[in-house]
Amino acid sequence: MEAQCDGAARSWKKVCVVGAGMAGLTVARELRREGHAVTVMEQRGDVGGQWLYDPRTDEADPLGAAAAPVKVHSSMYASVRLLSPREGMGVSDFQFLPRHGVAGRDPRRFPGHREVYCYLKDFCDAFGLMDVVRLNTKVVRVAMAQPPPLPPSEMRWLVRCRPSTRTTSAASTPMYVLITN
């Protein structure tokens, strides 16, 4: 497969993106537009990154001494709202516009965290990104597949990931890895 950009043909690359928040989803969309084979690894059960609110806290066990401590992967809290207006938050060709009259949506100029999460879900739906996102998949190691020196066209990365439903990890060897979390 070849991608076209400014009339120049170039071959596609296999790319692993770590994190399905705003940065990971945006870069995945751009890489797909350029014709690359993209896989997004997300350790949580949905996209959204820090905007995926988890009401659990670790305040009952702040030192992590419990046998099974709560692991909350976001600093989000229930009443958080944007500090910047929504107009400056969205992607240039997918604006973060109010969804007036849609149940559960927040049309305010400085909306709460759930509205940002909903925007990211809308973004995924609009560009078919859920097809390339692997949810509940934690990246446990990224290393060069072979030591240098190798020509750039032959360099690969070894990405080990563990789906939450398994105890063993699986590996892939993309040409590029982007850590976006």
Question: What is the mean predicted confidence (pLDDT) over 34-38?
Answer: 96
**Average model confidence (pLDDT) for the chain?**
88
What is the pLDDT, as a whole number, of residue 38? 97
Whole-number Cα distances in Å, 23 to 13, 51, 89, 123, 131: 19, 12, 12, 12, 17
Provide the β-strand partners of residue 137: 163
69 has pLDDT over 80: no
Question: What is the mean predicted confidence (pLDDT) over 58-83?
Answer: 77
- Model pTM? 0.84
112-152 confidence digits (pLDDT tens):
999 999 999 999 999 999 999 999 999 999 998 877 777 77
CA-wise closest residue to 82 among 100, 96, 103, 102: 96
101 has pLDDT over 80: yes
What domains does the chain contain, in order, with CATH numbers? Answer: 2-179 (3.50.50.60)
- Select the more confidently predicted residue: 172 or 19: 19
